[in-house]
Structure 1
Amino acid sequence: MEIVVLGFNGCLGAGFVGSVDMLKLSSLMISKEDNRQPFKTLTASFNGKPFEDSSGRALSVEKSVTAIKASSAIVVPGYLCDDNADFLSTPQIGTLAAWLRRQHALGALVCASCSGVFILGEAGLLDGRRCTTTWWRHDELKSRYPRADAIWGAPLIEDERIVTSGGPLSWVDLCLHVIRSLCGGDAAKIAADFAVVDTAPSTRSVYAPLSHFAAANAFLLEAEHVVRLAGEDPMTAQDLARALGMSSRTLNRRLKEATSETPKQFIDRVRFETARMLLETTKCSLKQLAASSGYSDAASFRRAFYRYSGMTPGAYRTQSRNRQT
């Protein structure tokens, strides 16, 4: 099996070099346990030439993507850029996107962390699939790829061999997920023990600093944040209005303008999105999920979940697991 780590101008050096080191060292440690090399790690750029990472350091690769006909898995690190629209329209990104699309069609597991998820979007690989990205680009991801099912706060999601993860350092979770998918849970535990990290990614919702709420619709983002922070505590429309420092009448008017929802509908939807993420990333019982999503009992949780998804929480969890295989 061969895992390809992509390098390209502007990508995060830590994400590129760190992924290569973790995969190669993990392969070495796993091979000592069962006397065989489980996979090979290969580096590539769009033309096979060295590239400059986000800090201006020149990093070499072994091949061009066009020289790689097939692979078992691909890891795309995040990147930094001044203008995302201009960055994604460059020839190197176009070449990488086309290659990723073909590799996935041939059966590869295609993975991206942080802003690298946008390159999967350029390849059309997010269309109709659940995905996540770093908190500060969540809204941009939803806007740029409206056919993607972008999920707020999920640390890592796999949907039909497309794997996406959150922040700049989430490449650690991503590499472990690749090892687990290709080599099994025991191999992933060996890699995790060696790297001194948890075998599974964090299951908590990703925190977003308040500065994030200065972007896009600040009122709507702050309202969502308030509902998520409430956690297990019940929340009414009056509670939300009080937390936002406005009257119930003003809250109702502003939500109608922004989302065409009543305050209750808004609270239920945000909590549904939280519950959906937890169903995909944890093994919590429905009773625990109901409580953590702010519902008084499992029955009301099931009704609310069915209203938004068209299926029961249990059926959704089963479908999510099946889509990951």
Structure 2
Amino acid sequence: MRIAILAVDGSLLSAIAGLSDLFWITNQALRAPPEGVAAGLPDRTDPLFQTTIVSADGKPLRDPQGRSIPLDGAFEDLARCDAVLATGMALGANGLPPESASIARGAEWMRACHRQGTLVGGACAGTFVVGEAGLLDGRRCTTTWWLHHAFKRRFPKARPVWGTALEEQDGVITTGGPLSWVDLGLHVIRRLAGAEIAKLAADISVADSLPLPQMIYAPRGFINTTDPLLLRAEQIVRHASPGLTAEGLAHALGLSGRTLHRRLKELTNESPKEFITRVRIETACVLLETPGASVKQVALACGYGEESVFRRAFVQLTGMTPADYRRWSAGRMADVAVSGGASV
């Protein structure tokens, strides 16, 4: 299976090399699986994946630090490939992914490959290349959380989902975060070679095969800061009694249910019910980071009359149980405290 990795102006050498290495490591693991994990895996002597780093003209590029990005060829050198992937890029002086002739040509080639049935994907700022290709119009997608607002402005026809780690629709994959090329690569392995080989790749790489949602890393309420309606709705949800419904939220905002649904879809790509749930769970994350409160008390404080309903919603949005989140958060805060107290 041939994997094409795009090199464009601003591409990060680490992301390109790391993605290529992930497929190479998977090949090595399949050739000589670790003891105890070979059962059920096909015997292979030839590599399952072949990565090719390509640019529009095949000439070496410089990464943002001035290092040379080695290339294997130009777009035209590839007769066919099974996946085309764009990795992270350095941001411009305006804090946004650049727009250049190199990126435009990469997007055009990616669009042509997708028309031929090739799987395409972008990680971090590489999602902007996928967007420039027009492949996100009308499709669910994601990007790095702190690029979410700029992403929506640049690609108004896309359907970005706030806070998710990975989205795929119609053979178009997007992931968020500068290191999310790991998530992209593992997902491509899963799609092309199956879940068992993807698990092997994740285990060998000591990586999570199912990445945690980005929303747990972003500042609480970050997405709601872009519009007064979202801020008002957030405050209503935070102070509402248990049992708040979509109709109740619409009434409190002085809107019809249909208008609220339309506005939230435009602003966050959420239904009113999904908005209510997200705000409640974001609130719960803050409360769980405060020692002392039980899970039941947090559930009640966030508007959940039944603890079991709260737990299900929490797992669905964060990928962890409330107790697991509390331990995870405490571990991160302990790391911060140790780092802050260390001498240089």
Per the TM superposition, whether the score is higher than 0.5 is yes
Match of 1:248 in 2: none
What are the Cα deviations for residues 53-88 of structure 1, in whole angstroms up to 9, with x where unaligned? 122211111011122231101221011122477822
1:202 pairs with 2:207: no
Match of 1:145 in 2: 155
Match of 1:163 in 2: 173
Q: Is residue 60–residue 68 contact of structure 2 (8 Å, CA) maintained in 1? A: yes
* Residue 220 of structure 1: how far off its partner (Å): 6.0
Match of 1:100 in 2: 110
Match of 1:54 in 2: 64
* 1:18/1:85 CA distance change after superposition, 3 Å: closer
* 1:212/1:295 CA distance change after superposition, 3 Å: closer
Match of 2:6 in 1: 6
* Paired positions, count: 261
* 1:84/1:104 CA distance change after superposition, 3 Å: farther
Q: Is residue 176–residue 214 contact of structure 2 (8 Å, CA) maintained in 1? A: no
* Residue 45 of structure 1: how far off its partner (Å): 1.5
* 1:212/1:14 CA distance change after superposition, 3 Å: farther
* 1:272/1:118 CA distance change after superposition, 3 Å: farther
Q: Is residue 63–residue 69 contact of structure 2 (8 Å, CA) maintained in 1? A: yes
Q: Is residue 135–residue 206 contact of structure 1 (8 Å, CA) maintained in 2? A: no
In structure 2, which of residues 64, 67, 85 is the aligned counterpart of residue 75 of structure 1? 85
* Residue 142 of structure 1: how far off its partner (Å): 1.5
* Residue 215 of structure 1: how far off its partner (Å): 7.4
CA distance in 1, matches of 2:130, 2:222: 24
CA distance in 2, matches of 1:94, 1:195: 33
What is the TM-score when the length of structure 1 is the normalising length? 0.68
The amino acid that maps onto 1:114 is: C
* Residue 52 of structure 1: how far off its partner (Å): 1.4
* 1:296/1:86 CA distance change after superposition, 3 Å: closer
Match of 2:98 in 1: 87
1:38 pairs with 2:38: no
* 1:28/1:56 CA distance change after superposition, 3 Å: same
The amino acid that maps onto 1:126 is: L
The amino acid that maps onto 1:91 is: A
CA distance in 2, matches of 1:80, 1:295: 43
CA distance in 2, matches of 1:14, 1:24: 15
CA distance in 2, matches of 1:272, 1:163: 25
Secondary structure, counterpart of 1:43 in structure 2: strand
Match of 2:122 in 1: 112
Aligned residue runs from structure 1 range 241-320, under 5 A: 252=253, 261=260, 268-271=273-276
CA distance in 2, matches of 1:133, 1:67: 30
CA distance in 1, matches of 2:50, 2:11: 22
* Residue 271 of structure 1: how far off its partner (Å): 3.6
CA distance in 1, matches of 2:5, 2:110: 12
The amino acid that maps onto 1:58 is: S
Secondary structure, counterpart of 1:24 in structure 2: helix
Match of 1:304 in 2: none
* 1:225/1:103 CA distance change after superposition, 3 Å: farther
CA distance in 1, matches of 2:272, 2:84: 38
CA distance in 1, matches of 2:58, 2:67: 16
* Residue 166 of structure 1: how far off its partner (Å): 0.8
Q: Is residue 45–residue 64 contact of structure 1 (8 Å, CA) maintained in 2? A: yes
Match of 1:187 in 2: 197
The amino acid that maps onto 2:114 is: H
Identity in percent: 35
1:123 pairs with 2:166: no
CA distance in 1, matches of 2:176, 2:236: 21
* 1:269/1:212 CA distance change after superposition, 3 Å: closer
Task: Name the Cα RMSD after superposition.
Answer: 3.7
Task: Name structure 1 gaps, 5 residues minimum.
Answer: 238-250, 276-290, 302-325
Secondary structure, counterpart of 1:107 in structure 2: coil
* 1:131/1:107 CA distance change after superposition, 3 Å: same
Match of 2:39 in 1: none
The amino acid that maps onto 1:87 is: P
Larger radius of gyration: 2
* Residue 252 of structure 1: how far off its partner (Å): 4.8
* 1:222/1:60 CA distance change after superposition, 3 Å: farther
The amino acid that maps onto 1:27 is: N
* 1:227/1:160 CA distance change after superposition, 3 Å: farther
In structure 1, which of residues 161, 178, 184 is the aligned counterpart of residue 188 of structure 2? 178
* 1:268/1:97 CA distance change after superposition, 3 Å: same
